Amino acid sequence: MRKAIICDFGGVLTTPLGNSFAAWSRESGIPLEDLGAAMASATERHGEHPLFMLEKGLIDQDEFTRRMELELGDGRRLDTMGDVLFRYLERDAEMIGYMRELRDRGLRTALLTNNVREWEPVWRAMLPEIDEIFEVVVDSAFVGMRKPEPEIYALTVDRLGGGIEPADCVFVDDMSVNCDAAGRLGMTAVVFESAAQARVEVEAALGRL
């Protein structure tokens, strides 16, 4: 049986996304609580969370910003989210190296990311070795679905092909909700906290497969 590793991008192969969102709030001068309230109001107005719609390619970044500014009111303007997020996002060289090691050991490899269509050139530039390390790259913004929707996990496994089933896969993500969804599909999930912790848990999981 061939084994597979499916890995997230932001917060696993990079520094935590929370740092970048905090920077977005700081540079915009708008508290995170207000941003959260604006997202909740936009969700109620449009029937779906604006960030989720952005990540599924249903709206573009300009429309996301317009909706958020409408809910914030008082003429408050948002800095372009992607520009700020990536300014404060850095590569996790240790975790990237570990993914390369797993590929070299013969594991099938896939990257599964919730992302934004306009950001693809930027995040790919952060990880120029992406197509060397990962056989399959599934970006939510280009497939119209996002984690933790089960369909995007199924699509990733299907694109790996070669007889790979969910039970053959170890899934690594920094969000427990995404790991829970992977687990329900039969994958072995590892909630990422650090490269050292993830290595120990991934190796243990591979040993059990």
The total number of structural domains that make up the chain: 2
Task: Tell me the three state secondary structure of residue 49.
Answer: coil
Given 86, 107, 141, the domain boundary residue is 86
Given 35, 68, 86, the domain boundary residue is 86
DSSP string, 186-200: T-EEEE-S-HHHHHH
SS3 content of the chain, % helix, strand, coil (to 5): 55, 10, 30
Together in a domain, 81 and 168: no
> Looking at residue 25, what is its pLDDT?
86
Residue pair 135/160 in contact by the 8 Å Cβ criterion? yes
Burial 179-202 (b: 16+ CB within 10 A, else e): bebbeebebbbbbbeebeebbebb
pLDDT in tens, 109-146: 999 999 999 999 999 999 999 999 999 999 999 999 99
Domain of residue 39 covers 17-86
The C-alpha atoms of residue 128 and residue 146 are separated, in whole angstroms, by 23
Residue pair 143/115 in contact by the 8 Å Cβ criterion? no
Q: What values do phi and psi take at 5, rounded to 5?
A: -120, 130
pLDDT (mean) for 182-186: 97
> Looking at residue 82, what is its pLDDT?
80
Residue pair 98/200 in contact by the 8 Å Cβ criterion? no
Together in a domain, 152 and 204: yes
Together in a domain, 148 and 175: yes
- The β-bridge relationship of strands 4-7 and 169-173 is parallel
Is residue 1's pLDDT more than 60? no
13 pLDDT band (50/70/90 cuts)?
very high
> Looking at residue 78, what is its pLDDT?
80
> Looking at residue 104, what is its pLDDT?
96
pLDDT in tens, 51-92: 999 999 999 999 999 999 999 988 888 867 788 888 889 999
